[in-house]
Amino acid sequence: GNSVTQMEGPVTLSEEAFLTINCTYTATGYPSLFWYVQYPGEGLQLLLKATKADDKGSNKGFEATYRKETTSFHLEKGSVQVSDSAVYFCALKRLDSSYKLIFGSGTRLLVRP
Amino acid sequence: EAGVAQSPRYKIIEKRQSVAFWCNPISGHATLYWYQQILGQGPKLLIQFQNNGVVDDSQLPKDRFSAERLKGVDSTLKIQPAKLEDSAVYLCASSSTSRRYEQYFGPGTRLTVT
């Protein structure tokens, strides 16, 4: 079946540190991949996406590359800020008419000044 | 444009009671989703509507959960009777027909069943 596995958190970093949050997936075919972010007290927001192998999604300094050979979609940022503290969810979209999103369990990021 | 609206934001009930959540999607979005997010887990789709019709309700516990989307706009999700394991955040999301991969989420309703 389709599933998404994320590294467990919390991930605690100092401001300006490099961030990597690992995400791997299991799916039939080639799904689209997403990163969503959930700031405290708010709903999930789409951060970035990639729809085919080798695509790189990017937004707000975050990047993730769709790696078919390793079935991965790791999230990276070169220099994190305190305002990046949030929960990050990796997700895939099923390749059928429902466009159903399947989410990982989320990784909490804490950035300290 | 206005985002997805949900109410109430918080609800505390006792087990075996009933509860209802309301969602107003982004104007013009034909697709509406209800997700359940248990603490420490990612959201899980309960039901998906395309206009008035149900597209996917395979993970909806139909013996106690029901949902409707009258007139293809607002939607309500009901639980009757509630169980302790229903404690979760219930998220509503919507998307347009042309960009269904991009779902916009509301702030959620946090339900606590005691």
Residues from chain B that touch A32, judged by Cβ atoms under 8 A, are 101
Contacts of A98 in chain B (CB under 8 A): 48, 55-56
Give me the mean pLDDT over the A88-108 stretch.
Answer: 86
pLDDT confidence of residue B27: 93
- Average pLDDT of span B15-43: 95
Q: Is the pLDDT of residue B82 over 80?
A: yes
Structure tokens at A28: 């039939």
Tell me the CB-side half-sphere exposure of residue A14, using CA atoms within 13 A. Answer: 0
Which residue of A49, A89, A98 is in closest CB contact with B42? A89
Q: Do B105 and A100 touch (CB under 8 A)?
A: no
Residues facing B70 on adjacent strands: none
* pLDDT tens by residue, A65-94: 999 999 999 999 999 999 999 999 999 987
Q: Predicted confidence band at B2 (pLDDT cuts at 50, 70, 90)?
A: confident
pLDDT at B99: 78
CB atoms B31 and A99 under 8 Å: yes
CB contact under 8 A, B44 and A103: yes
Q: What is the pLDDT of residues A6-46, one digit of tens each?
A: 988 899 999 999 999 999 999 888 899 999 999 988 889 99
Q: What is the rounded distance in angstroms from the CA atom of residue B45 to the CA atom of residue A103?
A: 9
Chain B CB within 8 Å of residue A23 CB? no
Q: Say what the pLDDT of residue A98 is.
A: 66
Q: Is A74 on the interface with B (CB under 8 A)?
A: no
Residue A97 has pLDDT above 70, yes or no: no
CA angle centred on A68, ends A1 and B55, rounded to 5°: 40
C-alpha distance from A39 to closest chain B C-alpha (Å) = 10
